[in-house]
Amino acid sequence: MTAVSSRERYRDVLLTFLTLGLTSFGGPIAHLGYFHAELVRRRGWLSDTAYAELVALCQFLPGPASSQVGFALGMVRGGGVMGGVLAWVGFTLPSALALLALALVAASLEGPLASGVIHALKLVAVAVVAQAIWGMARTLCPDRRRAGLALLAMLGLALVQVAWTQVGVIALGALLGSLLCRDDKAALVRQQAGAAGLSLPVSTRLARACLITFFALLIALPLLASGSLVEIFYRAGALVFGGGHVVLPLLEASTVETGRIAVDTFLTGYGAAQAVPGPLFTFAAWLGAGMAQVGGDSAVLGAIIALLSLFLPGILLLIGVAPLWGRLRARPAARAALAGANAAVVGVLGMALYDPLWTTSVLSHLDVVIALAAFIALTRFALAPWKLVLAMVILGAVRGVM
């Protein structure tokens, strides 16, 4: 790869994820749908199978799954960790800056116009996730066994609603896949071809260094900097499974219950985080700024420290396990397990389409029609997601003032 082509790839990664960071509303599950629609279907950065492997891998790791997936997609396109960094910056910066700005005008976030726009964006998320599930199910659940595993994953999520359930059903899917999918010769041939499988450009030396750094910080920070912004947010990012919503109880315990920030400020920031695009973990920018101001420090510096500290552990782990993942995938037993895990991922996304997306977004018969129309626009007419977002924002504003 020449220096010029590297710059072009880096620019492509940054601009693509900046666009996604400005238009990807709806939370982590919706973000996975946006990534699939734009980077798998439209741009072909990697295959459906590789994307499902990546989602499964990031679901197993602590941290923000959608941001980890985006970081990995940046590495694939950019040819290394720098591509991942640029993807993270592009995807994260818009919402982080928006939350800092919204902190100054929080009172104006209420009213029918804002409510109408936010509701329309939730309907966009329903359509985007439905499109992702439709495409992934056709590729990853082509037979009764894997379709059954997807349904079993949905059943598990419906019956056991705790933070670890997503990890558990994917692990169960992998276990059952290792027993039921070994004779799926067509899938094994596709995996052996190499192009369809996930391959992240990370050296063993770098991976080892990232794993050492992850555990060293996890152990050292409580001893050397207990109660600091770095320690609070790094610990939360290192221990949370299940995405942005699950990190909130950890952060509340470390901020509100310790008197570092007022409960009203905490809840206002959480509400604002729902209204902006990008990862929910950028809520850290709001909290970091507020906690720094309470202590008489720079709000901007506090936001930067909190943001980096919350995202860092998940990224370190992703880079650290990347080479190991490639070696595991090369084994027949692991490939069969991956077939089951991939089917379970479809089930996880399917259940998330219902709860929380459908249950909190589709509130009337008209909402059903709008969500269905958005889904048809994406699947039948191949409308770019950002164009759909723009159209829905206009529609939501009109509905809000009527």
Cβ burial of 97 (10 Å; 0-12, 13-18, 19+) is: middle
If you search the block for the tokens 């037993």, which residue do you land on? 333
Q: At what angle do helices 365-379 and 385-401 cross, to 10 degrees?
A: 160
- pLDDT tens profile 345-383: 888 888 878 877 788 889 999 999 999 999 999 888 888
Angstrom distances, CA of residue 173 to CA of 127, 158, 168: 26, 16, 9
What is the reported pLDDT for 105? 65
pLDDT at 292 over 50: yes
Lowest-pLDDT choice from 67-81, 115-129, 234-248, 294-308: 234-248
Q: Is the pLDDT of residue 27 over 80?
A: no
Cα distance from N-terminal residue to C-terminal residue, the chain: 55
Evaluate whether 74 touches 88 at the Cβ level (below 8 Å).
yes
d(CA 273, CA 125): 15
> For the segment 219-255, what is each residue's pLDDT rounded down to a tens digit?
999 999 888 999 999 998 987 755 565 577 678 778 8
The separation between CA 362 and the C-alpha centre of its own chain, rounded to angstroms, equals 22
Q: Residue 67 CB: number of other CB atoms within 10 A?
A: 28
Q: What is the mean pLDDT of residues 148-155?
A: 94
pLDDT tens per residue across span 155-213: 998 898 776 677 788 889 989 998 888 765 444 444 444 445 678 889 999 999 999 99
Neighbours of 392 (CB within 10 A): 25
What is residue 244's predicted lDDT score, i.e. its pLDDT? 62
